A and B are shown apart, each in its own frame.
Chain A
């Protein structure tokens, strides 16, 4: 399936595009998408480690599945994220 990934901020500027398109085999997860993006574009691969992926406007972990037509976005760290957090294990598995 063909997936369009929205880019924002530095990612959009570095890639010079608001959307990149990747092809994924079904069934696909966020981890598959990250691998595909990393192999497709060097700049994106470098940024991915500190970015989140949003699937249908929700932050998604690597286990989350990606269905055809899903609204996918690459979310770089937000501007003032200095709040104390306890553990990344709070990310829920879908």
Chain B
């Protein structure tokens, strides 16, 4: 665990310890979020999840969203820890803990941090279903075969090929604005 409380780990996350670490006499509110492995998605049953990270970039992006949250809310302490590898049913894959002077700030900052992490940080999950099948979860991943269209990758700012995956970290500020809007 580093001093900035931003980490990617391969073992169980001690969420209680993280919540205790963000507690402060300067804060009147502590908000935490735990992401856990859910068994049922629609009609399918999950056996376990496996997370993979582009570790160095993920840590950098986690630090960026933390900095952006601190710019927008008077955060006293924060912790962002994600687990990689196999995460069994009910186990914790990610923890956000944040302390602020007042509860509205803590709720909003916590919500922002988990949403921005999910949108921007290069960490992926694979479902291992109870029936033995496995699927990497890539929302919006192109599945139809449009390989040979001429000019598909022409350089055109209005038709940028990255469009279907609009959740790069340039949208961190936009994410915060969206949350602001929802709460105003």
**A54 x B57 contact (CB < 8 A):** yes
Bitwise, A59-84 to B at CB < 8 A (1) or not (0) is 10111000000000101111111111
Given A8-B124, A80-B139, 20 other A-B residues pairs in contact with their CB atoms under 8 A: A9-B138, A12-B52, A38-B152, A45-B147, A47-B141, A49-B161, A50-B141, A50-B164, A52-B168, A57-B60, A59-B162, A59-B169, A61-B162, A62-B162, A76-B136, A77-B140, A81-B165, A84-B175, A85-B119, A85-B171
Instruction: Give the contact-size bracket for chain A.
Output: 35 or more
Q: Which residue of A lies closest to B119 (CB)?
A: A83
Q: Which residue of B lies closest to A51 (CB)?
A: B165
Distance from B159 Cβ to chain A, minimum over Cβ atoms (Å): 10
**B157 x A78 contact (CB < 8 A):** no
Q: Give the interface of B toward A (CB within 8 A).
A: 51-52, 54, 56-57, 60, 115-116, 118-126, 136-147, 152-155, 157-158, 160-171, 174-175, 178
**A80 x B118 contact (CB < 8 A):** yes
**A81 x B153 contact (CB < 8 A):** no
**B153 x A34 contact (CB < 8 A):** yes
Distance from B88 Cβ to chain A, minimum over Cβ atoms (Å): 17
Q: Give the interface of A toward B (CB within 8 A).
A: 6, 8-10, 12-13, 29, 31, 34-35, 38, 42, 45-52, 54, 57-59, 61-63, 73, 75-93
